[in-house]
Amino acid sequence: MSQYIVDDREMPKFRVDRAVMVDPDVFAREKELIFDRCWLYVGHETELAKPNDFRTRTVGGRPVIFFRDSKGVIRVWVNSCPHRGATLCREPSGNARFMTCFYHGWSFSNAGKLVSLPDDESYGPDFDRPGLAAPAQVDSYRGFVFATFDPEAPDLRTYLAGAADYLDLVCDQSNEGMRVLAGTHEYSAKANWKLLVENSFDGYHAVTTHQRYFEMAIAARSGSEGDAVRARATGAGSTNTLVQSRGIDLGNGHAVTAGSPVTGGIFGRPLTPAGQAEREKRFRGFAETYGEAWVDRMRGTRNLVIFPNLVVIDLVMGVVIRKIDPVSPDYMEVSAWHLAPPDEGPELHRQRLDNFLTFWGPGGLASPDDVEALETCQRSFASRGELRYSDISRGMNKERPTGSDEFQMRTWWRRWNVIVTGEELPPEEHAPLDGVWAGTRRDPADTTTSAPATAG
């Protein structure tokens, strides 16, 4: 048995010691072994529309400046003056060619070079003029910018492994490139950061925690459409081959709950006939570019977690980018953005925003429910002497785990365990992906008919 995890394949049973949610020593190891070494999300390139645009962020516990320099190059700088450490950029966003420290007046270009300092002659002609510090590596994939503080970390594309396919499924939904809309949803929770990671691709809680939302969604639809909403939320179909959602291991701790085409676009308020017609027209165009097999997957839904703390959810007519920042063992800060296709019509865009805000917004029917649930969990961990473990066993006995099972969470926890404790637990064996789950992307340069999907 692992120090923190019970992974019993014979029972089967998977449990996580609740000490990992409260122990300061565990939190310190996470900071050193996970957040100092893994690739971490910084922001999306479209947030920096013009040269000299910047955003200030926290990445891996460090303050950083997310910059597009004067030549248009994306940069990430540590937001600390190399002179005495003061915060260099104190605004959340803006446009600037230079950054001047308010403490002693040292000034830096947005390319990171020290360009002036008061009383320069007092430092002598041979003074080594320090530039801004930066993460060891910065790279991007399809507009998503990541950084790692580990110079020995593998390249980003290798790190993303199978998660790259799911970012492609999101990004291919626009011919002009998906863009982050203006505004950031910032909130906090008095709970351990790993609880929100679990929650972000936990389909099991949907109907019970978000009962009000599903009552609204079902009432807005009739007959088979209402049944489809109910089935997607509860994982109906898990006992036969018509599984409507799957939990999928993407490698390196990344995982996803992916919904089939049957489930895509069924949540929230129904689209108007004009909105639905435009949506279908867009999908037909994507099929001509990428092939029917790929677009069948695109029509579905996906709750993607990129280890350790990035969440991308394509659901309810909108794509959420969620960054989870641990602050202490029992407190996290969360930043979320809305990613959308800029080339859709104004009416479809209006309906997208309406559905998005109804579910994901600050006053929506999802996020406040989730925060309340996680905070009650954290408070109950005071009783860990009597209730030592949390159970994450659902679906271990299934040939094909669904999105309402917990296979994807166990995948994440096994990666956490090998990094934090050094003990590697064997992966679960389930039926290989086939049908819609294995549909591949055709190269847009290839005009031939796409081949049928094969088993993954």
User: Per residue in 308-364, pLDDT tens?
Assistant: 999 999 987 789 999 999 999 999 999 999 999 999 999 999 998 988 888 888 888
Kindly list the strands in the beta sheet with 13-17, ordered across the sheet, starting from the edge strand earlier in the chain. Answer: 5-8, 13-17, 389-391
Whether residue 224 is predicted with pLDDT greater than 50 in this model: the reply is yes
Which residue bears the tokens 């692992």?
2
Confidence of residue 35 (pLDDT cuts 50, 70, 90): very high
Confidence class of residue 206 from pLDDT cuts 50, 70 and 90?
A: confident
228 pLDDT above the threshold of 70:
no
Average pLDDT (3-31) is: 97
Q: Where are the beta strands (DSSP E) in 60-155?
A: 62-68, 74-78, 93-95, 98-100, 107-109, 114-116, 137-141, 144-148
**pLDDT, position 451:** 34
- How far are the Cα atoms of 271, 286, 301, 347 from residue 296, in angstroms, in the given order? 19, 10, 11, 24
* Span 399-423, average pLDDT: 96
Residue 311: strand pairing partners: 305, 322
pTM over 0.85: yes
Say which residue the tokens 């994901």 belong to.
360
**Structure confidence by residue, pLDDT tens digits, 63-119:** 999 999 999 999 999 999 999 999 999 999 999 999 999 999 999 999 999 999 999
Query: What is d(CA 342, CA 282) in angstroms, rounded to the nearest whole number?
Result: 12
Show the domains of the chain with their CATH numbers: 40-141 (2.102.10.10), 163-438 (3.90.380.10)
pLDDT digits (tens, 9 = 90+) for 251-307: 999 999 999 887 665 567 788 899 889 999 999 999 999 999 999 999 999 999 999
